[in-house]
């Protein structure tokens, strides 16, 4: 992108929320401690071949035992918000029914520690770690998930709602339904449309039901839900590539937000949408799918370039990788493109009925090297700078952006990529649990303090 001067943190306004994010399954570890039962990720990780390096989330960053020192780091880096998620199977070991007091105690301690340090706790209710006991009964493919999710949300609201006012209902429903229930690449490893179609619909309903529950139980709550989003560009201007990009755009960017805005599912010319509508009798649910969120969480990492590919089922489209196109990319192969970040934010704002946008995740993985207790992660710093320039532009074009949260505090269990993909501002040696603040962490500290 054309380079502009890096804005200062202050120029975003004094009430702008600067935060850093973690997620339970990726950070806590202690998966068999104090009454917690396995989540789908613990079970999935036991299957060989599904996760790089046969990695498991069993110990992760041991945040469960080290949260005090980790929160001190959040504070030292200058962030105001700490976003984290709640492990469902730590709170409700059977998925529903009985409450595990130890689970509640743990999150009470984390919340209280945040407040003591003057950090704002932003809680994600669901960041992909469904209790395995519920998966056995169908997980997100079952309509029963709505009762289970109601129970979980209610317990959390009642336990933490006196101190937690900021709630994110679901983290990236498109990611966990497509990777986990269509492509089998993430837990629980299910595949095919017969799983994907109901999983999408139940996630759409859960995100709205969850919002209503928090609204009714938590006084003064600020409620959002987080969507993954990516600008989609056709590889060529041939009609078939343009149409393929359009189909991808519906899946990646529109499927979950439009029903929440009361528009129902998108109804464009794409057979999949018809199947989604019919399988779920979706026309009956337009009202229930809607919820008046206080903010929409946007999570953006990269844009995608798409071409027609008749071999790929349903979507008939595939990605032309950034490396093939010789454009800048991260260690994940994801294109780095700050302008596309600006454009995708603008695009969501154009719906007109989104009250506020918070960027609830943005960040990059690089092949970091720890040498003499330092990690000189120059590329990650450049990534953040480029995206903050774009964010500033969006804010100053009049888009109501309330905050920006960096993904992620420290190198953690990166799902199917295991521990090899490092996204943290803090380097973690997963053998010794030694934390080392990377140059990008120090860069953020200086950025936030000037
Ligand atoms: C997810 C995180 C994940 C990150 C990087 C987001 O899609 O919410 O859990 O680690 O991307 O892949």
22 CA distance to ligand 1 middle (Å) = 9
The pTM is what?
Answer: 0.98
Q: Which residue has the higher pLDDT, 161 or 450?
A: 161
Expressed in angstroms, the distance from the first to the final Cα of the chain is 25
* Digit-coded pLDDT (tens) for 410-450: 999 999 999 999 999 999 999 999 999 999 999 999 999 98
User: Does any ligand 1 atom lie closer than 6 A to the CB of residue 300?
Assistant: no
Nearest-10 Cα torsion for 286, 288, 289, 295 = 130
Q: Which residues contact 382 (CB under 8 A, 6 or more apart)?
A: none
What's the burial of 261, exposed, middle or buried (CB within 10 Å: 0-12/13-18/19+)?
middle
Strand, helix or coil for residue 236: coil
List residues with catalytic annotation: 172, 361
The answer, yes or no, to whether any atom of ligand 1 lies below 6 A from the CB of 206, is: no
Neighbours of 257 (CB within 10 A): 23
The answer to whether residue 207 scores a pLDDT higher than 80 is: yes
Residue ID of nearest Cα to ligand 1 atom 10: 414
Answer whether 129 contacts ligand 1 (Cβ < 6 A).
no
Pick from 293, 339, 344: nearest CA to 170: 293
Give burial (CB, 10 Å; 0-12/13-18/19+) of 212.
Answer: middle
Read off the pLDDT of residues 349-385 as tens digits, 9 standing for 90 and up.
Answer: 999 999 999 999 999 999 999 999 999 999 999 999 9
For residues 253 and 260, the answer to whether their CB atoms sit within 8 Å is no
Pocket test for ligand 1, best of 24, 415, 422 (most atoms within 8 A of CB): 415
Average pLDDT of the residues of the chain: 97
Residue 69 makes CB contacts below 8 A (sequence gap 6+) with 435
Tell whether ligand 1 has an atom less than 6 A from the beta carbon of residue 148. Answer: no
DSSP string, 381-415: HHHHHHHHHHHHHHHHTT--EEEEEEE-SB----G
CA angle 406, 410, 414 (to 5 degrees): 90
- Structure-derived torsion over alpha carbons of residues 299, 302, 303, 309, reported in degrees to the nearest 10: -110
Q: Per residue in 178-202, pLDDT tens?
A: 999 999 999 999 999 999 999 999 9
Round to whole Å and give the CA distance between 313 and 190: 16
Supply the residue whose CA is at minimum distance from atom 3 of ligand 1.
414
Q: Is 414 in the pocket of ligand 1 (CB under 6 A)?
A: yes
Of ligand 1's listed atoms, the one at least distance from the Cα of 417 is 12
What tokens were used for 188?
């629980």
Q: Are residues 155 and 91 in contact, defined by beta-carbon separation less than 8 angstroms?
A: yes
Q: What is the pLDDT of residue 5?
A: 83
Q: Taking 50 as the threshold, does the pLDDT of residue 44 lie above it?
A: yes
User: Which percentage of the chain shows pLDDT scores above 90?
Assistant: 97
Topology of domain 10-448, per CATH?
Answer: TIM Barrel (3.20.20)
> Under DSSP, is residue 342 helix (H, G, I), strand (E, B) or coil?
helix
Residue with the nearest Cα to atom 9 of ligand 1?
A: 23
Residue 175 CB less than 6 A away from ligand 1: yes
Ligand 1 atom with the smallest distance to the CA of 23 is 9
- pLDDT of 160 > 80? The answer is yes
For residue 331 and ligand 1, the question of a CB distance below 6 A is answered with: no
The helix (H) or strand (E) run that includes residue 64 is: helix 63-76
Indicate if ligand 1 lies below 6 Å from the C-beta of 228: yes
What confidence category does residue 134 fall into, taking pLDDT thresholds of 50, 70 and 90?
very high
Phi-psi region of 284 (alpha: psi -120 to 50; beta: other; left: phi over 0): alpha
The Cα–Cα gap between 225 and 133 comes to 25
Which CA distances in Å does 30 have to 65, 87, 163, 240?
8, 11, 25, 49
Residue 450's pLDDT is: 85
Q: 361 C-alpha to center of ligand 1: Å? A: 8
CA 421 to ligand 1 center in whole angstroms: 11
Q: Residue 175 CA: which ligand 1 atom is closest? A: 7
CA–CA dist 434, 197 (Å, integer): 43
Q: Is 334 in the pocket of ligand 1 (CB under 6 A)?
A: no
Segments making up each domain of the chain, as ranges? 10-448
Report which protein residue has its CA nearest ligand 1's atom 5: 414
Q: How far apart are CA 124 and CA 395, in angstroms?
A: 24
pLDDT at 433 (0 to 100): 98
pLDDT value of residue 2: 46
CA of 23 to the centre of ligand 1 (A): 9
Q: For residue 339, is pLDDT > 50?
A: yes
Choice from 407, 408, 416, 418 to test ligand 1 binding pocket (greatest atom count within 8 A of CB): 407
H or E segment and range at residue 101: helix 101-116
d(CA 290, CA 208): 6
Q: Which two tokens stand for residue 426?
A: 């803090």
Q: What is the pLDDT of residue 217?
A: 98
Instruction: Please give the distance, rounded to the nearest whole angstrom, from the Cα atom of residue 155 to the centre of ligand 1.
Output: 26
Which pair of structure tokens corresponds to residue 419? 């521990």
**H helix or E strand, kind and range, residue 228:** strand 222-228
Contact 157, 104 (CB under 8 A): no
In the chain, what is the greatest distance between 2 CA atoms, to the nearest angstrom? 61
């Amino acid at each position: 992108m054309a380079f502009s001067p890096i804005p200062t943190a202050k120029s975003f306004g004094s009430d702008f929320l600067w935060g850093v994010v973690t997620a339970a399954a990726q950070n806590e570890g202690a998966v068999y401690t104090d009454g917690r039962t396995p989540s789908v990720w613990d079970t999935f990780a036991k299957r060989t071949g599904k996760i790089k390096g046969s990695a498991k989330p069993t110990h992760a960053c041991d945040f469960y035992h080290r949260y005090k020192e980790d929160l001190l780091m959040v504070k030292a880096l200058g962030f105001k918000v700490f976003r984290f998620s709640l492990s469902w199977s730590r709170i409700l070991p059977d998925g529903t029914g009985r409450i595990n007091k130890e689970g509640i105690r743990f999150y009470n301690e984390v919340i209280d520690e945040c407040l003591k340090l003057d950090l704002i706790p932003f809680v994600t209710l669901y960041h992909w770690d469904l209790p395995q006991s519920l998966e056995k009964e169908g997980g997100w493919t079952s309509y029963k998930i709505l009762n289970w999710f109601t129970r979980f949300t209610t317990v959390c609201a009642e336990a933490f709602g006196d101190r937690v006012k900021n709630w994110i209902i679901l983290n990236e429903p498109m990611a966990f339904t497509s990777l986990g229930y269509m492509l089998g690449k993430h837990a629980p490893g299910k595949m095919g449309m017969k799983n994907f179609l109901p999983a999408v619909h139940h996630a759409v309903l859960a995100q709205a039901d969850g919002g209503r529950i928090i609204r009714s139980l938590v006084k003064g709550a600020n409620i959002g839900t987080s969507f993954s989003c990516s600008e989609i560009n056709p590889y060529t201007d041939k009609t078939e590539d343009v149409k393929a990009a359009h189909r991808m755009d519906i899946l990646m960017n529109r499927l979950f937000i439009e029903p929440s805005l009361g528009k129902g599912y998108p109804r464009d010319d794409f057979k999949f949408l018809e199947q989604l509508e019919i399988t779920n009798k979706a026309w009956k649910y337009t009202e229930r799918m809607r919820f008046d969120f206080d903010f929409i969480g946007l999570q953006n990492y990269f844009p995608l370039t798409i071409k027609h590919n008749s071999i790929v089922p349903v979507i008939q489209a595939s990605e032309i990788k950034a490396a093939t196109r010789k454009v800048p990319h991260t260690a994940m192969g994801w294109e780095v493109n700050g302008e596309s970040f600006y454009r995708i934010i603008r695009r969501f704002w154009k719906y007109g009925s989104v009250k506020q946008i918070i960027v609830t995740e943005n960040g990059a993985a690089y092949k970091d090297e720890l040498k003499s207790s330092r990690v000189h992660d120059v590329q990650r710093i450049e990534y953040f700078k480029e995206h903050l320039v774009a964010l500033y532009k969006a804010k100053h074009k009049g888009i109501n952006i309330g905050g920006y949260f960096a993904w992620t505090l420290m190198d953690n269990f990166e799902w199917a990529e295991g521990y090899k993909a490092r996204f943290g501002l803090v380097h973690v040696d997963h053998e010794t649990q030694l934390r080392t603040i990377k140059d990008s962490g120090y860069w953020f500290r200086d950025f936030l303090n000037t």
